[in-house]
Structure 1
């Protein structure tokens, strides 16, 4: 073959394996970028917590002081707690110990990890239970409404879900206490703990879980309904209607898969709202979670304990948001 023929011959087409490897590498880079962003957000959040507590009036030494203490005693306690050091230096020390699992020492001299050993699992049980129920109810109600666009059922679910999300958790809790405890006596008004620090009976979880589920179900039902409505106007869904496929099959096999990224993002966002609402709900129902720990820590200006609570909650929320990002990337990659 001549040199001219060699020069003009087409280059070999890339193999399927090379294309797959390139796509895998792209996805890996995106995932790494998402993980880095989540870690940076958590780091910024913790820095803001340290700065915010520093700006509050008073400090841990003053909150722990007893009546009649002298200025010298107060200064000694400030030095013992390290409050005479710059806040950035204390934050750096706390962050340096964090990779080893050390969340620092509270103003009362106890390890933060020990103080959170019992309340954190209780809050996780409450939040996970509320999250699972929210997912099931939101998908059920959103799909049911989307299958009847414009009908009475769709309008009822739309208005009810909007009203449910607009009502704060403390109002929902008050109504539940009034109806299910004071009026009917079906459920206990407060949570009583056993010797292991857990609620004495599972029925004590019902009202706190409902107080979290109702507002978040309202929000996510709207998200599911809107995501399915957006998918209803896509070409492949319209083609399925023209082909005469059953509405249920179109909804579950054509609309719902395309709506998964938006639904996953909405549900992941609810995780932070669930933890925020848990602080209020736990206080109202005397639930033994991190809500009461956080309230006491803020009152005592206990920065390491506040940061420990925020770190644990932020880690859980970041993991859920990361999972939602991975679901979104995997779904969009599969569709591409």
Structure 2
């Protein structure tokens, strides 16, 4: 019986590993490859966020799935073995190191505090991706597979991996926590629909314009964070980032008039600011709402206690007063007068 349970447990872990590998491989198709460096550097790399979320949700035992997914993505007929090995090692090291740092810092995947957002940004996004990008680019440089400037490729690779955490990971964490609301509110659903429809419409118009107007979408990110918090704000940031990168890859609008490096840095700046705005503002508003609800609850309890005390005093109006001496029976403590 124990042997059967042990085999079932090992089979479950194997299924999870294969699922993580498939998710990392599928998300790699959403990554946008830069024309710089022969497609080595990626301005936005979703598998970084997918791998980190997999470790946070399923545990560290699924790390081989990240390795398998990265290797499957890197292997191609024209890919050299050092490049495949560098990408595989860098992807695995980035996700595992990010998980270990978050676990050591007491990170909570629900993102209930501003501290958790800062920990995710610094220890989950910035710090481990520095190591991963350095391993990948240095390995490619040593093997001769890097054809562009080292510093430029390293910068694009680092920011792209970090954006995979900042943009993709919070959205996945919120999706995994979504539950159907107990009370259906048509007005709130209508507001959310109008929000997303207006944001997508404005994005399509701005991406077709000859001027760079991407940052006009920020009011919608603020609106989503203020009214719906993390679930809607992270979705808005992800949708806006995806559409912007798609337009840049097709040379639409203002992206056709600038260099590839300029477009990449503009897109990465836009994605980083949108993601940070969504995260910080959503958590701040949620904390304010929670504090306000707590204050209102305490006020109700205090009002109930005061009302109950007032009722008791009304039932026994003289309970707290000393009894007055009866007429004709003077107080023995008072001196007699002649």
- Common fold by TM > 0.5: no
Give the TM-score normalised by the residue count of structure 1: 0.30
Give the TM-score normalised by the residue count of structure 2: 0.30
Larger radius of gyration, structure 1 or 2? Answer: 2
Structure with the bigger RCO (C-alpha within 8 Å, sep 6+) is 1
